[in-house]
Structure 1
Amino acid sequence: MRATLLLFIGYIVILLGCEQNEDTLPIIPDDLPDEQIGHDQSDDNGSITIGLSMDTLIEERWKKDRDMFKEAVEALGAQVIIKAANGNDALQVTQAETMISQGVDLLVLVPHNAEAAATIVGKAQMAEIPVISYDRLVKNANVDLYISFDNEQVGMLQAEWVTDLVPTGKYVYIGGAATDNNAHLMKEGVFSVLQPLIEQGDITVVYDQWTEAWTPVNAKRNMQAALEANYNDIDAVIAANDATAGGVIEALAEQGLAGKIPVAGQDAELAGIQRVYTGKQAMTVYKSIRELTEQAADIAVKMARGEQIETELTINNGKKDVPTVYLTPVPVHKDNIYETIIADGFHSETEIFVDDR
């Protein structure tokens, strides 16, 4: 019996010894929930390793964030580990815990849930690892720095553009995910523009709903409900991003209304820009992902090396005034695609200008 037990233990030890170190695993395809890009920290000779915990890679823009952030970090001589939870709060916590246990020097966090992600910040703090809140602010947590675009301004740009096109009438607002602080900020920006017009009686918001998980299918359901409730009598739609705008436009197309009712979006996703070019979408708001990733990478590496970062702005997240870096969004419409999206290399001319979109 003892010999059998010793043989079994020996077998387990051999198996454990043959396991791959997680840091040496190859890149996992985008459609899987857990992605890692990095190197074996045991061979890094003291170099900086940045962890990037992402909510999702389902939407096109987040793949650009991932790739450009990785490129920017490595250009600064540091390494990066990247994991994506694809909308699963528990998985994001687990992935972040793994990176913390691996000893990353700093964690960059794109939270799925602004409140739930506070757990991640707390665990990083216990390990004395600084945390940067990337693009979305983590609420009620001791975040070291927040970098994003002015999301209230995003909403204002959307509303200003649409109200210039349709100064009176019935409006629909299709928001983002209620769990995302950015969705709330954008809505505040939208309604800061709409409210005076509402009070004057020029505009009536006949439907206003959040979109669970930011998905086009949920946005489409919301828009179908808005059309049904108003017998298709709607004059304009403001959608929180291009993915939700795509769902909205699908619902409008089913009623023969695509291109007839102005729809605003944001993120300048390829499909969104194609719709802007063909007139199915009125505008989008471009947030330069390259500018965001390069600044975030620069700040992350500096902070990981112990440098102090001073900002002119702070944003209160419910727990503290978080040092904040805000970048400026840009409205994009059919007439300025060249000088914005194409000039910045975000999408190419051949990608955008296609037929039958």
Structure 2
Amino acid sequence: MATALAGCGSGGSASDEDGFKVGLLLSQNVQTRWEKFDKPLIEKKVTELCADCTVEYANAEGDVATQQQQVETLINKDVKVLLLSAVNFRSLRFSVERAHDAGVPVIAYDGLVEGPISAHVSFDNERVGRLQGEALLRALGDRAADGQIVMMNGPQTSPTNVAFKKGALSALQGKVRIGKSYDTPGWSQETAHTNMDSALAALGADSVDGVYAANDGLAAGVISALKSAGIDPLPPVTGQDADLAAVRRIVLGEQYMSVYKPFKAEADAAARIAVALGRGEDIDDLTDTTVDTATTKDIPAVRLDPVPVTVDDIRSTVVKDGVYTIDQICTPELAAACRRAGLTG
């Protein structure tokens, strides 16, 4: 940490007038949040904090080798600080070390990454999973004791995804039987559909009382498989990220809930830390906790609270925060469902 800060400040403290480059590398674009929310929100906040600063952006589209090359490219472009949402938390360790050696502090954004990172900004990911599990149990009600669910987890290739699963299991184990559990490479919606087909074949279409889906993309794959199998009514299905399509499914009653992670709070916190590190400033007042990885201890961190969203919470969460408007959610096809949900008159 001290080395990274010293390297960052070695050229003298930058002012707004001087400006500098902030690197932003996102891991994938399967989830719509990255390009639609995180990127523009970070860019906007960096500019607000440092008028002459610029953001150098790239998306790895899920490919480790691509992201490794992107790190090299940004180091060569003389970025002062790097915000990194890593494709794989172990495979990017050498790249983090390269940046550190070049005097470029790395902020692990949303998920952790091994190596000498200077800060971490994310949500309480175990709590995300726990909120999903608790919501699923509420939806099942008295059926939980004798019921059976399917778990559709994300890829277990990062501490973030491991935390989602751990949090969900902390709520679900001992409360409901887990008939099948799948880890889904690449958060693939198509793989989730295929795995749900397999679960229905193995367990029986009438024997699945609910589905824990770790995010909204997996939920979409699960729901398409359930509908293709002619299951009606659909069992409760969880999700995460409050994607627009997922919010519409919640209005329709196809998806029970999602987890809204206020992207602006995360993006703003990351931008503040990036600008401070770019100026060689201390970040103690900008962080509220610490985290550890296998390679680095006591990493300054910001840990934000996720928010569960069911049909009753849409107006007070994603609409209130300006993520979506009622008009965006309530397409003509959803008119009747929106009236039932109290979103329109």
Same fold (TM over 0.5): yes
| Deviation digits for residues 186-223 of structure 1 (CA, Å, limit 9, x no counterpart) | 001000111232xxxxx110111111101211111111
- Show the counterpart of 1:244: 218
1:352 corresponding residue in structure 2: 329
Corresponding residue of 1:50: 22
1:61 and 2:33 matched:
yes
CA–CA separation in structure 1 for the residues paired with 2:246 and 2:81: 34
For 2:236 and 2:178, locate their aligned partners in 1 and report how far apart those are by CA, in whole Å: 15
Quote the Cα distance in structure 2 between the aligned partners of 1:207 and 1:234: 10
CA distance in 2, matches of 1:230, 1:356: 34
- Partner residue of 1:72 out of 20, 24, 45: 45
1:279 equivalent to 2:253? Answer: yes
Corresponding letter in the other structure for 1:316: D
Return the offset for 1:345: 0.6
1-structure distance, mates of 2:69, 2:218: 29
Residue 325 of structure 1 aligns with an amino acid whose one-letter code is: V
Where does 1:125-274 land on structure 2 (aligned, <5 Å)?
125-139=100-114, 141-166=115-140, 167-168=144-145, 169-197=147-175, 203-232=176-205, 233-257=207-231, 259-274=233-248
- Is 1:94 paired with 2:72? no
Contact 1:259/1:281, CA 8 A, preserved across alignment: no
What SS class does the counterpart of residue 280 from structure 1 fall into? coil
Change (3 A) 1:339 1:45: closer
1:233-262 CA deviation, whole Å, 9 max, x = no partner?
200101110011101101011012265200
Match of 2:291 in 1: 315
Letter paired with 1:136:
G
Question: Structure 2: where are the runs of 5+ without partners?
Answer: 1-15, 335-345
Contact 1:250/1:258, CA 8 A, preserved across alignment = no
Instruction: State the AA in 1 paired with 2:321.
Output: D
Q: Secondary structure at the match of 2:78?
A: coil
CA-CA distance at 1:282 after TM superposition:
0.2
For 1:338, the equivalent position in structure 2 comes to 315
Q: Note the C-alpha offset of 1:56.
A: 1.3
Q: Is 96-105 or 221-230 further displaced after alignment?
A: 221-230
The residue type paired with residue 274 of structure 2 is: A
Deviation at 1:143, TM superposition (A): 1.0
Matched position secondary structure for 1:324: strand
CA distance in structure 2 between the aligned counterparts of 1:257 and 1:120, rounded to whole angstroms: 47
Measure the CA separation in 2 of the matches of 1:220 and 1:72. Answer: 38
- State the SS of the aligned residue for 1:68: helix
Deviates most, 55-64 or 97-106? 55-64
In structure 2, C-alpha distance between the alignment counterparts of 1:144 and 1:347, rounded to whole Å: 33
Q: Please say which structure displays the higher CA radius of gyration.
A: 1
Q: Aligned partners of 1:145 and 1:257: how far apart in 2?
A: 46
Q: Structure 1 67/312 Cα, relative in aligned 2: closer, same or farther at 3 Å?
A: closer
Say whether the 8 Å CA contact 1:110–1:134 is kept in structure 2: yes
Report the TM-score, using the length of structure 2 for normalisation.
0.86
- Amino acid across the alignment from 2:48: A
| Structure 1 residue 73 displacement after superposition | 1.1
- Which consecutive unaligned segments of at least 5 residues does structure 1 have? 1-43, 198-202
Residues in 2 aligned to 1:106 and 1:153: alpha-carbon distance in whole angstroms: 29
More displaced, 170-179 or 261-270?
A: 170-179
Following TM superposition, by how much is the alpha carbon of 1:71 offset from its aligned partner in structure 2, in angstroms?
1.3
1:113, 1:156 → 2: CA distance? 23
Cα pair 1:238 1:265 within 8 Å, conserved: yes
Decide whether the 8 Å contact of 1:153 with 1:329 is kept in 2.
yes
Q: Per-residue deviation at 1:89?
A: 0.3
* Residue 83 of structure 1: how far off its partner (Å): 0.4
2:293 partner letter: N
